[in-house]
Amino acid sequence: MRRKKYLYSLAFKQKVVSEIEAGDITVGQAARIYDINGHGTIDKWIKQLGKNHLLAKVVRIEMKDEKDRAKELEKEKKVLESALAQAQLKIIALESTIEIAGKRYGLDLKKKIGESK
């Protein structure tokens, strides 16, 4: 036995989708009220014709130079982070050198350096 294929008009689909989006009926109720068979038929209509599914999306529109500027700033940020890390390593190395020299010569060089200011 052959299955029946139903063809729904665009106006009918839009009516059903608008009723669902308005909150008047649910998808299940629409299927029963309008005798719409087929799993996912109404969901497909909502995706094709509905408007509410667009509300959850964020669309960002930007000029080309804005996008380039964002990339440029990201590169600059990486360079600065690298420079900061190098500076921190240099500080640690210098503090270690001062501590070792102080132990070797029996002096508190940090205190002496602080006094000379």
Question: CA Rg, the chain, in Å?
Answer: 35
- Identify whether 75 is part of a domain: yes
Residues 38 and 73 in one domain: no
- Identify whether 5 is part of a domain: no
Whether the pTM exceeds 0.95: the reply is no
Residues 70 and 110 in one domain: yes
- Identify whether 59 is part of a domain: no
Residues 47 and 82 in one domain: no
Per residue in 37-82, pLDDT (tens digit) is 887 899 999 988 888 666 666 777 778 777 788 889 999 999 999 9
- Identify whether 2 is part of a domain: no
pLDDT bin (cut points 50, 70, 90) of residue 32 is very high
Q: Check pLDDT > 60 for residue 107.
A: yes
Domain count, the chain: 2
The residue range of the domain holding 71 is: 64-115
- Residues whose CB falls within 8 Å of the CB of residue 43, separated by 6 or more in sequence, listed in order: 27
Mean pLDDT score of the chain? 85
- Per-residue pLDDT at 66: 79
- Per-residue pLDDT at 115: 62
